[in-house]
Structure formats: C-alpha cells, structure tokens
Amino acid sequence: MRADLIATQFEVPGRLLSIRAVGSGNINDTFLGVFKADIGNFCIIIQRIRKSIFPQPEIIMQNLRVLSDHCVHVINDEIEESDRPWEFTQIIKTKSGEDYIIDENGDLWRGLKFIEAGAVFESVQSLEHAYEVGAALGHFHHMVSTLPYQKLNYSLPNFHIASHALSELEHAVKSPSAEMSINTSPTTQKALNFIAQRKQGIFELENALQKGKLKLSVTHGDPKAGNVMIHEATGLGICLIDCDTVQPGLILNDIADAIRSLCNPAGEDPINLQSVGLDLNLLSAFFDGYKSKAKSLLNTQEIQYLWTALHSITLELGIRFLTDHLRGDVYFKIRQPGHNLHRALVQFHLAESIEKQESAIREILEKRNDG
C-alpha cells in the first residue's frame, strides 16, 4: 500500500500536503508526512514494519505502548530537575482509534509524533556528540530501570543472542545458495575462518547470564548514533528513537552496540577496510556521557563483562551480515552484490581492533566507572 494513502488514515489535523522517505535504516521504511492545518503545518512520522522481518509486528506496538506510557510518565515526573527537554516516541492513533494499520501484505504501518527540535546524525560528529549519544542512552536505561522487563514481549526472538547467530550461520553454510560463494570466493572463506578461530568466546555473556552473574533488563536493541535525536539549538541528546527492537535483554549489549557503531568513525560501509578501528577518545567521551545519566546503574561485575560484550556484539553483527550474504541477501537492504559480505568484513576488522586494544579499553571503562 502507498505511504500517502496510509498517512491519511491517522488522526491528524488538516490535509496531506506531501510525504517523502527519510532516514537510512537497513530494515524498515520511514516517511515524513506534512499536513496543512488551520494554523501552519503539522508533521508526523509514518513507518512501515515488514512482516518478513518481524513475524508478529503487533508485538512491537504492544511493547511501544507500554514503553512510551512509562517513559513519558518518568520524564514528566522529573521535569523540574532535568537539564534538558527530554522527549520520547509517542504513538498517533488512527481515525478508528487503533495504534496501527495492517496492510494487505501483513506489514504494519504506524504514525509517530514528529519531534521538531531534534536532528539525527548517522555518524559521530565530534567528541561532544559522542558524549550526548552516551547521555541519551544512559537516560533511557535510567528510565526503564523501573520498568519490569516481564511487561515486554520478545519482538525479535533470539536478537543479540550470539550463539543463535552462530547457529544460523552454520545452517546457512550448508544451504545451496551458499555453495558458489564459499567455493569461489577466498574472501568468504577468510570470513568463515575468522569466526571459527573465535567461536568459543561468543558464548561467554550467555554463560554469565545462566550463572546469575548478569541479569535481564529492558533494552533498546539498536542504540546507534542515527537513533539518537540531538536538540538542534543546544546540541544536547534528547531522545532515543526506533524502538522496534526494545525487549528483554542485557543492557551491556546496548552499551556495547552503541560503542561499536559510534566509536568506529569509518562507519559500517567504508571502501577501505584499513580505515576501520575503535577510537579510544570517542569511547571515553561516550562512556562519560552514559555515566552522567545512568549514574550507578552498572555494578562492578557488569563493567568487567563490558569488553566481552563489545567484542561479542561486533562479531555477532558480522556473523549476521555474513549469514545474510550466504542466504542471498534476504534480511538487510543492499546497494550492490556482495554488500553484506563487505559489511561482515568491516565488523571483523573492528573486532580485531577491539582485540588489539583490550587493555586500553578495559582501563578506560573501569576508570570511568570508578569516577
């Protein structure tokens, strides 16, 4: 169904003037709808959530409703002591009073409040920007620390479960679609060997959770720089967006994934793999920002597992890219053949950088935690 036809079904003032695609997500489609109201214009965000990726997209909206109600309540309660105008994703109902629309393909469409004062940046702009991404994630974790994770369902089962990602790769290798790439591409073989050499370390976080050393919490699931809104006037982080992957998980994975995406200035699609690496200055700035809002949310034991989480989640994303390449690019959007293989190699180069700087990374995190 066309986005303009969907947009007119939400309860917003005025008539639709325009709708255009925005953002650069790898999975869902996002549009900005502009309506002509009696006084000025009214903007909303329209998003399509693909059923092929999220088999039960209704769960996403159930989680978002619980999450939004909780976080807006916390923001309002703490508004007098806040240092900035915190925002949070709010659902716009349809004209029939529902939270979403299901189209003829089973895809889910939703309308969300447009946050006018905010801007997003797909890559880190400065040390100050890294600090603010950390502050926004820390504030999110602070808000959801009082939301029992049992109130949320799993919108994407096995998401950020590294052992599951490894199992999916092992199945993909045996598929007919993978045979040509494996037999004819030394690069694919190199990527598979890279994972084989690090296989045992992938299970460390899950083992710690099973032994009670770590605990489940509410997690965002995708806290990259492009999902943090920055106040255009002040430069302060004000909101985490794109909450489709919010579900029970390890907050260490949230922190680690933010570091993985933010502290590699080369990004996920650099032409030159040698440009990929973890920047320690960005790491320091990010974690200072995180601690400024999360306060003492992390205990000493969790901090000790944070390097492991960073290494593991980087490997996991590389494995997921490689798996999708071997399956014929059915999950992540691609721009050219071999795109997902290249993305996998980027993550593996980053994992090597994280390995080489393990001592320095641990020193920064532990020092920041003590401070």
pLDDT of 370 above 70? no
Indicate the helix (H) or strand (E) that contains 31. strand 29-36
- Phi-psi group of 270: left, alpha or beta (phi > 0 → left; psi -120 to 50 → alpha; rest → beta): beta
Q: How far is CA 247 from the centre of its chain?
A: 12
Rounded to the nearest integer, the mean pLDDT of the chain is: 92
Q: Is 1-113 a CATH 3.40.50.12660 domain?
A: no
Total Cβ atoms within 10 A of residue 294: 21
What band does 116 get if pLDDT is binned at 50, 70 and 90? confident
> Mind listing the pLDDT tens digit for each residue in 1-10?
688 899 999 9
CATH number of 117-371: 3.90.1200.10
- H helices present in the chain, as ranges: 3-7, 57-77, 127-144, 162-173, 176-184, 186-196, 204-210, 251-262, 280-294, 300-304, 306-327, 339-356, 358-370
Geometric angle at alpha carbon 275, from 271 and 281, rounded to 5°: 140
pLDDT for 282: 98
Q: Say if 1-113 and 117-371 have the same CATH topology.
A: no
pLDDT of 38 above 60? yes
8 Å CB contact between 26 and 108: no
pLDDT of 369 above 70? no
pLDDT for 146: 97
pLDDT of 13 above 90? no
CA atoms within a 13 Å half-sphere pointing along the CA-CB vector of 24: 11
pLDDT for 1: 62
Domain locations in the chain as residue ranges? 1-113, 117-371
**With 0-12 CB in 10 A as exposed, 13-18 as middle and 19+ as buried, what is 355?**
middle
| Bridge partners of residue 19, in order along the sequence | 33
> Mind listing the pLDDT tens digit for each residue in 142-182?
999 999 999 999 988 899 999 999 999 999 998 887 887 88
Indicate the helix (H) or strand (E) that contains 22. strand 15-22
pLDDT of 48 above 60? yes
> Mind listing the pLDDT tens digit for each residue in 78-111?
999 999 999 999 999 999 999 999 999 899 999 9
8 Å CB contact between 63 and 46: no
> Mind listing the pLDDT tens digit for each residue in 280-328?
999 999 999 999 999 889 999 999 999 999 999 999 999 999 999 999 8
**Torsion angle in degrees (nearest 10) through CA of 111, 131, 251, 25:** 40
pLDDT for 371: 46
